[in-house]
Amino acid sequence: MLSQAEIDTFVADGYVAVRDALPADLLRACQEKIWSALGDRGVQREDPSTWREPVVRIDCPTWTPAARPPGSDPARITTPPVS
């Protein structure tokens, strides 16, 4: 549940940070996937000179545990969808 201060921040800023909402190891794995996808587009994590564009669009793997709906069965969301 969000506090009134968090709700006020959301209304004012358009976002709210929810600390510890996901396990740290899952977040690190997501970061690695994101940097890998950015690398495919020439954006290198260790080289800020490659960070030239304000926005780089990458596909979002909706099948990852971080993207599943709260309360869903993680055993049912384990592989990418078939294209």
Tell me the per-residue pLDDT of 43-52, one tens digit each, with 9 for 90 and over: 999 999 999 9
pLDDT (mean) for 52-73? 72
| CA triple 66-70-74, angle to 5 deg | 65
Residue where the block lists tokens 């969808």: 81
- Please choose, from the candidates 77, 83, 82, the residue with its C-alpha nearest in 3D space to the C-alpha of residue 63: 77
For 9, phi then psi, to 5°, come to -65, -45
Residue bearing the bigger pLDDT, 47 or 62: 47
- Residue 70, pLDDT above cutoff 80: no
Number of CB atoms found within 10 A of residue 44's CB: 12
- Residue ranges per structural domain of the chain: 22-65
Single pTM value for the model: 0.58
Q: What is the pLDDT of residue 77?
A: 46
Q: What are the structure tokens assigned to 16, written together?
A: 């709210």
